[in-house]
Amino acid sequence: MHTYIISDLHLTPERPQVITAFFDFLANQAPSAERLYVLGDLFEFWIGDDAGSMLGADPVLNAMKAISEVTECAFIAGNRDFLVRETFTQRTGFKIIEDETVIDLYGTKTLLLHGDSLCTDDIVHQQFRAQMMTNTQFCDDFLQLSIADRIEQAKQARLQSNEHKSEISMGIMDVTEAAVLDAFAKHSVTQMIHGHTHRQNTHHYQVNGGDAVRYVLGDWHSSNSIMRIDQSGIEITNQAI
């Protein structure tokens, strides 16, 4: 038995080749797995479950529904798609789980998270997180707007985000060591898996005198990043898109 974990596909009709790669994965690889986790930013942006059809998401949602009928599927919302709600779960069969969820991964307690909560040097993003991602009232108010108004606001947010990214250093956009060590301690784990930074890598730490490891998944822009886990270990593969 094995499990797949993927993250940061940033699906958008502007990049149909990534959608095709996701369909290929769901059709050819995912059905053999017992579990599939998506660690956020599956969509380039998600402005409410009621707007998915208008934005062309139906084929993706249908494919997700199909895989959820053979594989247990779970989703952690990223900073691009934190507005997924119960309707998304009903539509796709993907259970929404909390950011920072600890699972048993073939005998190893493992922390799963999107990863942006670890980027504590990025003050602007942390303000966005506090205001939008974790403020229920703010989200509820936004979801009450017309779809057209939400699309407009999302475009503005994307522009601001791109501006922000071009202004700050690469280091600021990565995780901080202190936040990583805090997360290991807070959840009493020695293994964590996340995305968000798009910097696929395996990082080793010493925690309480023992070994700890942080796996970072890559995005799906020019190649996919697919983690496969079974009893014998973890591997990440990449294929050109």
Give the footprint of Mn ion on this chain (CB under 5 A).
41, 78-79, 196
| Contact partners, residue 91, CB within 8 Å, separation at least 6 | 49, 52, 61, 65
Residue 219 C-beta: closest distance to Mn ion, Å = 9
Q: How many CB atoms lie within 10 A of CB 201?
A: 11
Which lies closer to Mn ion via its Cβ, residue 29 or residue 79?
79
Measured from each CB, the residue nearest to Mn ion is 196
Q: Can you tell me the distance from the alpha carbon of 67 to that of 89, in angstroms, rounded to the nearest whole number?
A: 13
Biggest CA pair distance of the chain: 54
Q: How far apart are the first and last CA of the chain?
A: 27
Smallest separation, CB 197 to Mn ion (Å): 8
Closer to Mn ion at the Cβ: 41 or 49?
A: 41
Q: Please state, in angstroms and rounded to a whole number, the distance separating the CA atoms of residues 86 and 83.
A: 10
CB of 70 to Mn ion, least distance (A): 28
Least distance to Mn ion from the beta carbon of 40, Å?
6
How do the residues of the chain divide into helix, strand and coil, expressed in percent and rounded to 5? Answer: 40, 25, 35
* Nearer of residues 52 and 78 to Mn ion, judged by Cβ: 78
Task: Return the number of the residue (90 or 135) whose C-beta is nearest Mn ion.
Answer: 135
Kindly state the smallest distance separating residue 157's Cβ from Mn ion, in Å: 13
Our CB check for Mn ion shows the closer of 108 and 176 to be 176
Q: Which two tokens stand for residue 152?
A: 């407009």
